[in-house]
Protein backbone atom coordinates (compact mmCIF):
# COMPACT_ATOMS: atom_id res chain seq x y z
CA UNK A 1 0.00 0.00 0.00
CA UNK A 2 1.36 3.38 -0.99
CA UNK A 3 1.75 5.70 2.00
CA UNK A 4 0.60 9.03 0.66
CA UNK A 5 -1.24 12.16 1.79
CA UNK A 6 -3.92 11.35 4.36
CA UNK A 7 -3.15 7.64 4.80
CA UNK A 8 -3.68 6.74 8.46
CA UNK A 9 -0.73 4.83 9.96
CA UNK A 10 -0.72 3.37 13.48
CA UNK A 11 2.59 2.27 15.02
CA UNK A 12 2.79 0.47 18.36
CA UNK A 13 5.93 1.14 20.38
CA UNK A 14 6.19 4.29 18.30
CA UNK A 15 7.76 6.75 20.74
CA UNK A 16 11.35 5.55 20.45
CA UNK A 17 13.75 3.40 18.48
CA UNK A 18 12.62 1.83 15.23
CA UNK A 19 8.98 2.84 15.72
CA UNK A 20 9.87 6.50 16.07
CA UNK A 21 12.01 6.46 12.93
CA UNK A 22 9.20 4.81 10.93
CA UNK A 23 6.82 7.45 12.26
CA UNK A 24 9.04 10.24 10.99
CA UNK A 25 9.30 8.57 7.59
CA UNK A 26 5.55 8.20 7.10
CA UNK A 27 4.91 11.78 8.22
CA UNK A 28 7.33 12.91 5.52
CA UNK A 29 5.07 11.15 3.03
CA UNK A 30 2.01 13.08 4.25
CA UNK A 31 0.48 10.32 6.37
CA UNK A 32 -1.58 10.86 9.51
CA UNK A 33 0.43 9.25 12.30
CA UNK A 34 -1.01 7.51 15.35
CA UNK A 35 1.50 6.44 17.99
CA UNK A 36 0.90 3.94 20.78
CA UNK A 37 3.48 3.60 23.52
CA UNK A 38 3.78 2.64 27.17
CA UNK A 39 6.21 5.46 28.01
CA UNK A 40 4.33 8.72 28.59
CA UNK A 41 7.45 10.91 28.70
CA UNK A 42 8.87 9.59 25.42
CA UNK A 43 5.43 9.74 23.82
CA UNK A 44 5.02 13.42 24.73
CA UNK A 45 8.56 14.21 23.58
CA UNK A 46 8.05 12.48 20.25
CA UNK A 47 4.73 14.20 19.57
CA UNK A 48 6.28 17.58 20.36
CA UNK A 49 9.21 16.79 18.07
CA UNK A 50 6.95 15.64 15.21
CA UNK A 51 4.21 18.28 15.40
CA UNK A 52 5.78 20.45 12.70
CA UNK A 53 6.03 17.45 10.34
CA UNK A 54 2.32 16.75 10.09
CA UNK A 55 -0.71 15.37 11.93
CA UNK A 56 0.32 13.14 14.81
CA UNK A 57 -1.52 11.90 17.87
CA UNK A 58 -0.33 9.67 20.68
CA UNK A 59 -2.06 7.21 23.00
CA UNK A 60 -0.65 5.79 26.21
CA UNK A 61 -1.16 2.04 25.81
CA UNK A 62 0.29 -1.06 27.43
CA UNK A 63 -0.23 -3.60 24.65
CA UNK A 64 0.04 -6.46 27.14
CA UNK A 65 -3.31 -5.27 28.55
CA UNK A 66 -6.28 -6.23 26.35
CA UNK A 67 -8.58 -3.70 28.03
CA UNK A 68 -6.14 -0.88 27.21
CA UNK A 69 -5.89 -2.08 23.60
CA UNK A 70 -9.66 -2.12 23.19
CA UNK A 71 -10.08 1.30 24.81
CA UNK A 72 -7.35 2.91 22.72
CA UNK A 73 -8.66 1.30 19.53
CA UNK A 74 -12.09 2.78 20.19
CA UNK A 75 -10.56 6.24 20.69
CA UNK A 76 -8.55 5.92 17.47
CA UNK A 77 -11.64 4.97 15.48
CA UNK A 78 -13.56 7.92 16.92
CA UNK A 79 -10.75 10.36 16.06
CA UNK A 80 -9.42 8.94 12.80
CA UNK A 81 -11.87 6.37 11.50
CA UNK A 82 -10.29 3.38 9.76
CA UNK A 83 -6.58 2.65 10.17
CA UNK A 84 -5.05 2.08 6.74
CA UNK A 85 -1.63 0.79 7.81
CA UNK A 86 -1.01 -0.98 11.12
CA UNK A 87 2.61 -1.56 12.15
CA UNK A 88 2.86 -3.91 15.12
CA UNK A 89 6.28 -2.82 16.34
CA UNK A 90 6.20 -2.95 20.17
CA UNK A 91 8.41 -5.63 21.67
CA UNK A 92 10.45 -6.60 24.71
CA UNK A 93 13.34 -8.97 25.40
CA UNK A 94 14.55 -10.78 28.52
CA UNK A 95 18.07 -12.14 27.93
CA UNK A 96 18.48 -15.10 30.29
CA UNK A 97 18.89 -18.85 30.19
CA UNK A 98 15.43 -20.40 30.26
CA UNK A 99 15.74 -21.78 33.80
CA UNK A 100 16.47 -18.25 35.06
CA UNK A 101 13.16 -16.86 33.79
CA UNK A 102 10.30 -16.18 36.15
CA UNK A 103 6.72 -17.05 35.15
CA UNK A 104 6.12 -13.29 34.89
CA UNK A 105 9.04 -12.94 32.42
CA UNK A 106 7.48 -15.61 30.24
CA UNK A 107 3.93 -14.25 30.45
CA UNK A 108 4.97 -10.66 29.74
CA UNK A 109 7.20 -11.57 26.79
CA UNK A 110 4.56 -13.73 25.14
CA UNK A 111 1.90 -11.12 25.83
CA UNK A 112 3.78 -8.20 24.27
CA UNK A 113 5.60 -10.00 21.45
CA UNK A 114 2.89 -12.45 20.38
CA UNK A 115 -0.58 -11.93 21.82
CA UNK A 116 -0.55 -8.15 21.45
CA UNK A 117 0.04 -8.39 17.70
CA UNK A 118 -3.07 -10.53 17.36
CA UNK A 119 -5.21 -8.44 19.72
CA UNK A 120 -4.24 -5.12 18.15
CA UNK A 121 -4.80 -6.48 14.65
CA UNK A 122 -8.16 -7.91 15.64
CA UNK A 123 -9.18 -4.46 16.87
CA UNK A 124 -8.70 -2.90 13.42
CA UNK A 125 -9.07 -5.76 10.94
CA UNK A 126 -12.86 -5.72 10.63
CA UNK A 127 -12.82 -2.17 9.20
CA UNK A 128 -10.07 -3.16 6.76
CA UNK A 129 -12.16 -6.12 5.61
CA UNK A 130 -15.27 -3.98 5.17
CA UNK A 131 -13.28 -1.51 3.08
CA UNK A 132 -11.37 -4.36 1.40
CA UNK A 133 -8.09 -2.53 1.80
CA UNK A 134 -5.31 -2.05 4.32
CA UNK A 135 -1.87 -3.24 5.26
CA UNK A 136 -0.69 -5.01 8.40
CA UNK A 137 3.06 -5.05 9.07
CA UNK A 138 4.31 -7.25 11.90
CA UNK A 139 7.81 -6.67 13.23
CA UNK A 140 9.07 -10.10 14.17
CA UNK A 141 12.77 -11.02 14.26
CA UNK A 142 15.38 -13.35 12.83
CA UNK A 143 14.88 -15.01 16.22
CA UNK A 144 11.51 -16.02 14.77
CA UNK A 145 13.41 -18.23 12.31
CA UNK A 146 16.35 -19.56 14.31
CA UNK A 147 16.95 -20.84 17.85
CA UNK A 148 19.42 -19.00 20.06
CA UNK A 149 20.71 -19.50 23.64
CA UNK A 150 19.79 -16.90 26.28
CA UNK A 151 16.73 -15.79 24.31
CA UNK A 152 14.57 -18.93 24.36
CA UNK A 153 11.40 -17.14 25.49
CA UNK A 154 12.01 -14.23 23.14
CA UNK A 155 12.57 -16.71 20.29
CA UNK A 156 9.37 -18.53 21.25
CA UNK A 157 7.42 -15.28 21.10
CA UNK A 158 8.89 -14.35 17.72
CA UNK A 159 8.35 -17.82 16.24
CA UNK A 160 4.72 -17.40 17.26
CA UNK A 161 4.59 -13.91 15.74
CA UNK A 162 6.14 -15.07 12.45
CA UNK A 163 3.84 -18.08 12.12
CA UNK A 164 0.70 -16.13 12.91
CA UNK A 165 1.63 -13.22 10.64
CA UNK A 166 2.25 -15.35 7.58
CA UNK A 167 -0.83 -17.47 8.27
CA UNK A 168 -2.88 -14.26 8.33
CA UNK A 169 -1.39 -13.33 4.95
CA UNK A 170 -2.48 -16.67 3.50
CA UNK A 171 -5.96 -16.30 4.96
CA UNK A 172 -6.39 -12.88 3.35
CA UNK A 173 -5.36 -14.40 0.00
CA UNK A 174 -7.63 -17.41 0.44
CA UNK A 175 -10.62 -15.19 1.25
CA UNK A 176 -9.69 -12.85 -1.64
CA UNK A 177 -9.39 -9.75 0.54
CA UNK A 178 -7.07 -6.95 -0.56
CA UNK A 179 -5.60 -6.62 2.93
CA UNK A 180 -1.86 -7.17 2.66
CA UNK A 181 0.41 -8.57 5.36
CA UNK A 182 4.17 -8.06 5.66
CA UNK A 183 6.32 -9.97 8.14
CA UNK A 184 9.64 -8.36 9.11
CA UNK A 185 12.47 -10.61 10.32
CA UNK A 186 15.58 -8.50 10.96
CA UNK A 187 18.81 -9.43 12.71
CA UNK A 188 19.85 -7.39 15.78
CA UNK A 189 19.11 -3.68 15.31
CA UNK A 190 21.16 -0.98 17.01
CA UNK A 191 18.31 0.65 18.93
CA UNK A 192 19.61 -0.12 22.42
CA UNK A 193 17.16 -2.99 22.93
CA UNK A 194 20.02 -5.49 22.57
CA UNK A 195 22.71 -3.46 24.29
CA UNK A 196 25.77 -5.61 24.96
CA UNK A 197 25.26 -8.03 22.08
CA UNK A 198 28.47 -8.92 20.23
CA UNK A 199 28.23 -10.26 16.72
CA UNK A 200 30.41 -11.12 13.72
CA UNK A 201 27.39 -10.44 11.52
CA UNK A 202 27.00 -6.63 11.44
CA UNK A 203 24.31 -5.20 13.72
CA UNK A 204 21.76 -3.31 11.64
CA UNK A 205 21.40 0.46 11.37
CA UNK A 206 17.87 1.40 12.52
CA UNK A 207 17.47 4.19 9.94
CA UNK A 208 18.18 1.77 7.10
CA UNK A 209 15.92 -0.87 8.62
CA UNK A 210 13.05 1.61 8.96
CA UNK A 211 13.40 2.71 5.33
CA UNK A 212 13.39 -0.91 4.14
CA UNK A 213 10.27 -1.67 6.17
CA UNK A 214 8.34 1.31 4.82
CA UNK A 215 9.49 0.46 1.30
CA UNK A 216 8.41 -3.15 1.89
CA UNK A 217 4.93 -2.02 2.93
CA UNK A 218 4.61 0.18 -0.13
CA UNK A 219 5.67 -2.71 -2.39
CA UNK A 220 3.37 -5.21 -0.64
CA UNK A 221 6.33 -7.44 0.20
CA UNK A 222 5.52 -10.69 2.01
CA UNK A 223 8.78 -10.78 3.98
CA UNK A 224 11.31 -8.07 4.77
CA UNK A 225 14.43 -9.84 6.05
CA UNK A 226 17.75 -8.21 6.91
CA UNK A 227 20.56 -8.79 6.17
CA UNK A 228 20.06 -10.67 2.87
CA UNK A 229 21.53 -13.84 4.40
CA UNK A 230 18.43 -14.23 6.60
CA UNK A 231 16.60 -15.44 3.49
CA UNK A 232 18.73 -18.59 3.54
CA UNK A 233 18.11 -19.60 7.17
CA UNK A 234 15.13 -21.83 6.53
CA UNK A 235 16.77 -23.25 3.40
CA UNK A 236 19.85 -24.15 5.44
CA UNK A 237 17.74 -25.75 8.15
CA UNK A 238 16.00 -27.82 5.50
CA UNK A 239 19.01 -29.15 3.62
CA UNK A 240 21.64 -29.47 6.36
CA UNK A 241 21.74 -32.04 9.17
CA UNK A 242 21.22 -30.19 12.45
CA UNK A 243 24.80 -30.78 13.62
CA UNK A 244 26.12 -29.10 10.50
CA UNK A 245 23.71 -26.19 10.80
CA UNK A 246 24.69 -25.73 14.46
CA UNK A 247 28.37 -25.83 13.53
CA UNK A 248 27.93 -23.20 10.80
CA UNK A 249 25.63 -20.86 12.72
CA UNK A 250 27.02 -21.39 16.21
CA UNK A 251 30.65 -22.28 15.55
CA UNK A 252 31.62 -20.39 12.42
CA UNK A 253 29.33 -17.36 12.61
CA UNK A 254 29.14 -17.31 16.42
CA UNK A 255 25.41 -16.57 16.48
CA UNK A 256 24.79 -18.84 19.48
CA UNK A 257 27.13 -16.77 21.66
CA UNK A 258 25.91 -13.30 20.65
CA UNK A 259 23.88 -12.90 23.85
CA UNK A 260 26.76 -13.79 26.18
CA UNK A 261 27.32 -10.15 27.19
CA UNK A 262 23.71 -8.96 26.86
CA UNK A 263 22.85 -6.01 29.13
CA UNK A 264 19.42 -4.94 27.99
CA UNK A 265 17.76 -1.81 26.74
CA UNK A 266 19.68 1.44 26.76
CA UNK A 267 16.91 3.79 27.88
CA UNK A 268 18.69 6.79 26.42
CA UNK A 269 17.99 5.60 22.85
Active site residues: 154
N-terminal to C-terminal alpha carbon distance within the chain: 30
Distance (Å, whole) CA 101 – CA 96: 7
| CB contact at 8 A, 46 and 24 | no
Three-state SS string over 56-113 comes to: EEEEECCCCCHHHHHHHHHHHHHHHCCCCEEEECCCCCCCCCHHHCCHHHHHHHHHHH
The sheet carrying 134-139 orders its strands as 56-60, 32-37, 8-12, 85-88, 134-139, 179-186, 223-226
Q: 93: number of CA atoms within 13 Å, CB side?
A: 29
Whether the bond into 21 is cis, omega within 30 of 0: no
Amino acid sequence: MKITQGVRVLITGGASGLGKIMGRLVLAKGAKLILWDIDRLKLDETIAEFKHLGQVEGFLVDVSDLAQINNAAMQVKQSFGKVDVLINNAGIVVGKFFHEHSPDDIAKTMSVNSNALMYVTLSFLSEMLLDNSGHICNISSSAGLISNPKMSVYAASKWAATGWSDSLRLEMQMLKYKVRVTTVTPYYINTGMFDGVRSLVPILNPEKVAKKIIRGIERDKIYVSMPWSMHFVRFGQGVMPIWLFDWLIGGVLGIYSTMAHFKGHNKNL
